[in-house]
Amino acid sequence: MLGNGVMLVAAPLLAASMTSSPLLVSGTTFALTLPWLLFSLPSGALVDRLDRRRVMVVVDWIRAAAIGGVGVAVALHWDSLMLLYAVMFLIGVGETLFRAANLSMLPSVVGSDLLERANSRLTAARTVLHDMIAGPLGGFLFAVAAAVPLLVNAGSFAVGAVLLGLLSGTFRPDGRPGPDPAARPSFRYEVAAGLRWLLAHRLLRTLAILIGLLNVTLSAALSILVLLATKRLGLGSIGYGLLFTALAVGGLVGALFGERLVQRFTASVTLRAGLIVETLFHLAMALSTGPIPVGVALAVFGVHDALWMIVTTSLRQRLTPPEMLGRVNSAYLFLAAGGNAVGALLGGAIASRFGLTAPFWIAFVVAAIVTAATWRVFDRQKIAAATRAEQVAMPA
């Protein structure tokens, strides 16, 4: 997480040192996120065929070599935008595999009753390392030398590969050696089977479609946050950065207390409260004209975002058959990534046509409609019944 966060800061800075074109600079982010639309579904099927720990180890070594190679090229002044795009794309492809394997392997490492605790701690680690520390560190390391943050990121992948390699045991979906390839369904069939299973499960299907819709409007709104901060709130670069600090602080609070909050109020209450918070967040952002209310809104949203991640990830891990976790997680992430990509394109266009607050007003209306439409699905008894049904269906 620390290395990835450093890279997210360093890559645009490196691109900006090569070109003054905003479009070409934004190409680094596009190259990193495009693989989620292209490869997330097949990555899930691949993860369900292989040892998930080995997948993560191999992916991390490949990414360490790729980023290390770019770092050396930058140090020797052999760098180019095309090389940076290619490596960022490769890193993104690796992330689709790593994330699917990571999410799918966790239930094999901890018991079902500890999933919320494990996901809470992972979310806290991400918030501190990726959201709080990596940004300033990446900027500082880039100021030292352009190659340094790239080499640090390569080192983080190498350390990750070593640590994962120390885990003992087999982490195939069924805990046994793989089946005879001749008796295995086709790769395309397995990809489709995972997507069909997700769409057939009412609770997880609702969560997947819901997050896809909400991500469209959320990404559209946040894509113009810098303009809202500078033109409407009158903030400079430091003030704009503090808004993200408020978001990260809220996320850390939600991650640290997530397990206890979910146990105290149940997944049903947490999801329903999250929908209300998301709706009111967009309303507050549309109405606020001062930085303090916006900062408070972002902090509260950060708490909600962490709790939502903990609850939905744990539900997928608990309700999905182990042999399909990779495909179901990837299908879920595919829908979420699709929402992010569409929203990022829409945000600027809507703000240009209707004003800076228009994306937030649209997000408020969409969130209110989604909340009303899905409220009954997140009933406590229905979530408990779905959990019991999966536990009964799961072999001893």
Question: pLDDT digit string (tens) for 91-106?
Answer: 999 999 999 999 999 9
One domain, residues 239 and 123: no
Nearest to 179 by CA among 194, 190, 169: 190
Report if residue 29 sits inside a domain.
yes
One domain, residues 147 and 113: yes
Residue type for 11, please? Answer: A
Question: pTM of the full predicted structure?
Answer: 0.79
- Report whether 14 contacts 148 (CB < 8 A): no
One domain, residues 340 and 374: yes
Residue 396 confidence (pLDDT): 37
Residue 31 confidence (pLDDT): 84
One domain, residues 121 and 265: no
Question: pLDDT digit string (tens) for 72-88?
Answer: 999 998 878 899 999 99
The total domain count for the chain is 2
**CA separation (Å) from 374 to 84, 96, 210, 249?**
42, 28, 8, 29
**CA separation (Å) from 298 to 6, 36, 243, 288?**
22, 26, 7, 12
Residue 28 confidence (pLDDT): 80
One domain, residues 304 and 222: yes
Cα–Cα distance for residue pair 374/377, rounded to 1 Å = 5
One domain, residues 147 and 258: no
Backbone angles phi, psi at 233, to 5 degrees: -95, -15
User: Last residue of a domain, which of 121, 146, 175?
Assistant: 175
One domain, residues 160 and 65: yes
Residue 237 confidence (pLDDT): 64
What CATH code is carried by the domain that includes residue 97?
Answer: 1.20.1250.20
Residue 389 confidence (pLDDT): 63
DSSP state of 129: I
User: Last residue of a domain, which of 109, 142, 175?
Assistant: 175
Question: pLDDT digit string (tens) for 249-280?
Answer: 999 999 999 888 988 889 999 999 999 999 99
- 87: containing domain: 2-175
Report if residue 293 sits inside a domain.
yes
Cα–Cα distance for residue pair 163/155, rounded to 1 Å = 12
* Regions in the chain scoring below 50 on pLDDT: 175-177, 392, 395-396
Residue 391 confidence (pLDDT): 53
